[in-house]
Structure 1
Amino acid sequence: MPAIDKRHLADAEIERIRRAYRVERTIDEALTWKLLRRRGPDYRPPQIGELEVRLGNFLSSRVSGPFRIDELRRLPGGGSKEMFRFRLRRVEGGGTQVEEDLILRMAPGESIVETHRQREFDVLSAMDGVVPVPPVHWVDADGSALGSPGMVCGFVAGVAAPTPVQGEGGRISGIGAGFPAGLRERLFEDFVDHLAAIHRFDWRAARLASFDVPSAGTTEAAHLALDHWSRVWAEDAFEEHPVITLAAQWLREHLPVADEIRLVHNDYRNGNFLFDEASGRITAILDWELARLGDIHEDLAWVLFPGFAAQDEQGNPLICGLGTREAFLDRYQRKSGIAVDPRRLHYYTVLNLYKLAVLGSATNARAAADGQTHLDVMMNFSTGLGYGALAGLYRILDATEARP
């Protein structure tokens, strides 16, 4: 049977993939957009002059009164999305001059993970006043104005890693960043308490129309998460891999029941929050693009992933570089009022490794090979991490099956 050309998937093949996996409506939109975009030319990052015109047109229908865009510039990093910073100068009613530092966050052709800007915009809007997040202003969910789906939010002061970075981690998206003792003790409390606040949040009172809601007391939350990453594998993998096949089978056979449906950040870790080094307080929780309504154990297993850990001065591993596993689970349960279920925690540990293996060995390699990214070097580097995740996935499956 000839290999499928995934760079130029036919409409019928895209529809076959869409029917094979059940995912949320807006996740389906984002993944389908990716496949349609992939059939086009190699990705070309927008030129600043071109982007300034598009951004001006976009804001003209959203900003009342005269305004001017100044100092538009591309920011370094941004492994998932392209990031730009600019200053918006405008005149309010009565002639008051207002200046704002803003961030434009846009989707490239393909990125480390494909997500939907409306979902990110909605959840950030809902989190305002619950935990520290960047204020969000406007969203172009389909990219019709900006040329690619994008969102404008406020600039928040802070750093994502201490200066200098402690230990060997933190160089790629803050993963594995460590913190000096005095700083990490203060950050640890905020880190745990904010996660507890996210999980306690009454999402039913929020405007989250872009999110589908799985049913409590069923396996639907886990099923949606598993089908999401299984679909991504079907879209992006260059060839089948036995560990992925075995993992998908195990995950499907052991779907856990979610007794409660709560808001899950889905990428809560070091590198995804900003903090003030002087006070040791978190100033913003970032990167909400993967948020979903589901089982909080998906977040907990992510925080506890050893790949995000960093060592203390005695060489002991600290989760996300901040505290011991025992201290994290103890404080989280006290602050959230939610008991941690070891069986569900194990399930989502396997699911998260599955996700990392899919994104690393398939999605990131595909984006680089097909010329759809602005970060070829980073994508190829993370491909290596994906194969490390495959090895870890094999080890945990092997150990799981060996249990009595």
Structure 2
Amino acid sequence: MIDTEPLLATLLEERKARRGLPPYLPQEDRAVAALLQSWYDEREPGANVRDVARMGGGASREQFIFTLERDGTERRYILRMDPTEGITETSRAREYEILRAFEGTLPVPAAVWLDIDADHFPCPAMIVEVVAGVTKPTSDQLSVTGLGTILGDPLRDIIRPQFLGHLATIHNFDWSTADLPSFTAPTDDPKQPTRWLIQFWKELLEQDAVTKEPVLRLATQWLEDNVPDCEKISVVHGDYRTGNYLFEEADGRITAILDWEMCYLGDLHADLAWAIQPVFGSHIDGVFRGSDLAPPAQFLAEYEAASGNRVDPAKLHYFTMFNAWKSYILVAALGVRAARQAHNHQDVLLTFLAATGPLFVDELARLLMMEESQ
């Protein structure tokens, strides 16, 4: 058994078991509409499902938006359903639990139904309410959401304090009193949170790598040899960046924090290093802004002020290395494998994202050379 969190170890074994399955056939709108209607017939007799449509984007889950009519009212919902394999290996139960835990504390979509064992839908699925907002300015028609997104002035100055304030709320949340049965607290020793994390992603790399990159082997060894202590175990979002929140374009108000599927309990520095990764930022007139919100020094200083948490430069450096390594595994191992096996509905997008793999190899090489020179 891999030395990682029990649920993650189970996910790894399930992924292995699915490797030999036939190509995944994307669900048709009509079939999904019938599944949704029968789901509500069992749970809310009299409710009517209509206007079912596939949503674009998303490199991991299939998503369908629909309208539900009941008791004379109409509301919009999203069905999130697993393909055979995706760019991440995650649990709908965990995503459902964390959304429920933060409801009323953070702006998050309301999670309303869960089919974790695929008793009704063909794959594990959950249903969440639709939240109004956009992930990028409507004037930006070129960039993939979150990659090279430019918020610009005055939006970035309006959004930044909200973005950092919500991140502070996540990191300071008392997870020990929340109803999170699918999460296991890594409390045996101060290195366990990050050691569990490394072992999970290392196993995914070994399962799914389609090329052998020497730099990845060196980075893996460095990460294993330099695991830092985690003095404060926090909820870590796992993909906190511009592109993973909705905001009202008219006034810049953040309406929902999205994409919690990679959430876990661990070191908060992982989220900070992720949000200021070069691939998620902007370079304008010689100034780099993490998530197009602020230069890293300003970003981190304002986070410290909002959260009361001190940023440790050594840990930030460690998770900068980790995040480049993790990003490579996502796009150049899991994503490529899922596309090649025809186990995902977004094979074209997964292949497109694989082109960013060399960027992360180059970043890892740069960081490792820095270590050698010290």
* Class of the TM-score when normalised by the shorter of the 2 chains: over 0.9
Residue 138 of structure 1 aligns with which residue?
A: 113
The 5 Å alignment of 1:3-402 reads 19=1, 21-63=2-44, 65-91=45-71, 97-165=72-140, 171-215=143-187, 218-312=190-284, 314-402=285-373
Which amino acid is the alignment partner of residue 233 of structure 1?
A: L
User: 1:106: Cα distance to partner?
Assistant: 0.9
Q: Is the 8 Å Cα contact of residues 268 and 302 (structure 1) preserved in structure 2?
A: yes
Amino acid at match of 1:48: D
1:323-356 C-alpha deviation (Å, 9 max, x unpaired):
1212211111111111011111111111111111
Task: Look up the match of 1:6.
Answer: none
* 1:224 aligned partner, one-letter code: W
Deviation at 1:142, TM superposition (A): 2.2
SS in 1 for 2:355: helix
Instruction: Evaluate the alpha carbon distance shift between residue 144 and residue 39 of structure 1 in structure 2; reply closer, same or farther with a 3 A threshold.
Output: farther
TM-score (norm 2): 0.96
CA contact (8 A) 1:364 1:379 kept: yes
Q: Is 1:139–1:152's contact at 8 Å kept on the other side of the alignment?
A: yes
SS in 2 for 1:181: coil
**In 2, are the aligned partners of 1:263 and 1:291 still within 8 Å (CA)?**
yes
Task: Return the offset for 1:365.
Answer: 1.1
d(CA) in 1 for partners of 2:176 and 2:28?
41
How far apart, in 1, do the equivalents of 2:48 and 2:145 lie? 32
User: What is the distance in 2 between the residues matched to 1:165 and 1:22?
Assistant: 43
User: How far, CA to CA, are the matches of 1:31 and 1:374 in structure 2?
Assistant: 21
How many residues are matched?
A: 374
Which digits, 9 at most, give the CA deviation of each residue in 1:160-206, with x for residues without a partner? 0012129x7xx223222111211111011111111011111111111
Shift of residue 35, structure 1, vs aligned partner: 2.7
Code of the aligned partner of 2:50: D
Greater shift in the superposed pair: 284-293 or 354-363: 354-363
Q: Judging changes above 3 Å, is the alpha-carbon distance between structure 1 residues 159 and 67 closer, same or farther for their aligned structure 2 residues?
A: same
Q: Once the two structures are aligned, what percentage of the paired residues are identical?
A: 37
1:231-286 superposed Cα distances (whole Å, 9 cap, x missing partner): 10111112432111111111111010000111110100011000001111111000
Write the letter of the residue equivalent to 1:90: R
**Deviation for aligned residue 1:216:** 7.1
Shift of 1:217: 5.3
1:4 paired residue number = none
Root-mean-square deviation (Å): 1.5
Q: Distance in 1 between matches of 2:13 and 2:120?
A: 19
Q: CA deviation at 1:138?
A: 0.6
Tell me if the contact between 1:54 and 1:147 (Cα under 8 Å) persists in the aligned partners: no
For 1:154 and 1:276, how far apart are their aligned partners in 2? Answer: 17
The 2-side partners of 1:134 and 1:254 are apart by: 37
Structure 1 unmatched runs, 5+: 1-18, 92-96
1:41 to partner: Cα distance:
0.9
Deviation per CA, 1:6-38: give whole Å up to 9, x if none: xxxxxxxxxxxxx2x222222233333333233
Once residues 366 and 206 of structure 2 are traced to their aligned partners in structure 1, the CA distance between those partners, rounded to angstroms, is 23
What is the identity, as a one-letter code, of the residue corresponding to 1:278?
A
Matches of 1:132 and 1:241 in 2, distance apart?
A: 40
Structure 1 residue identity aligned to 2:358: Y
What CA distance in whole angstroms lies between the structure 2 residues aligned with 1:67 and 1:349?
48
Partner-residue secondary structure (3-state), 1:101 = strand
Q: Give the aligned residue type for 2:97.
A: D
1:84 is paired with a residue of what secondary structure?
strand
- Structure 1 runs (4+) greater than 4 angstroms displaced: none
CA distance in 2 between counterparts of 1:62 and 1:178 reads 43
Q: Measured at CA, do residues 284 and 216 of structure 1 come closer, stay the same or move farther in structure 2, by a change above 3 Å?
A: farther
Deviation at 1:112, TM superposition (A): 1.4
Structure 1 residue 228, shift from structure 2 partner: 1.1
Give the Cα–Cα distance (whole angstroms) in 1 for the partners of residues 176 and 167 of structure 2.
Answer: 18
Partners in 1 of 2:336 and 2:235 — Cα distance? Answer: 30
Query: What secondary structure sits across from 2:43 in the alignment?
Result: coil
Write the distance in 1 (CA, Å) between the matches of 2:43 and 2:188.
39
Give unpaired runs (5+ residues) of structure 2: none
